Amino acid sequence: MKKNILLFSAILLGGELLTWCLFYWSPANLPEHIYGPINTAGLFLILLIIIITNVFQQRVTKLDARVGFAKLVLSSVLVVLLAELGFQIFRFVILDDYTFENMVYYASRGVIVMAVIGLVISAIVALLIRKKDKVAK
């Protein structure tokens, strides 16, 4: 499972970096908000987390059908956390117009928010996968 956690964390990190480049540095001029308050980059990131979490949990349950609900959820949250930590380290290196205190604040806030989002999404996906497995049997 460790290899899968690292693999999917790297995939999610790549998606986060691609999203950041696409929405903030791209000449494509993508809209920052849609339908009023909905942040386009945030929506794209949440969809990316849902897809990565779903594929990760399906792979884990395919390798070990007896994996527990808590282990499935916590390993999925670990995937999100590792990717977010990597992203925040990348931001530390790239962004130099913030003070160290601001960087720590934004990085901590980002990691905590992503952990909560990852936990909610992971639990919902795990419940849906478990429900689908029970119906299939």
- Please give the residue that has the higher pLDDT: either 101 or 46: 46
> Residue 134's pLDDT is what?
66
Q: How far apart are CA 101 and CA 70, in angstroms?
A: 35
Residue 101's pLDDT band (cuts 50, 70, 90): confident
pLDDT at 136 (0 to 100)? 57
In terms of Cα–Cα distance, which of 74, 76, 82 is closest to 53?
Answer: 76
Beta carbons within 10 angstroms of residue 57's beta carbon = 24
DSSP state of 31: -
What pLDDT, in 10s, does the model give residues 13-35? Answer: 999 999 888 887 777 777 777 88
- CA 71: distance to chain centroid? 17
Confidence of residue 112 (pLDDT cuts 50, 70, 90): very high
Please tell me the predicted confidence (pLDDT) of residue 75. 95
Q: Please, which pLDDT band fits residue 95 given cuts at 50, 70 and 90?
A: confident
Helix or strand or coil: residue 30?
Answer: coil
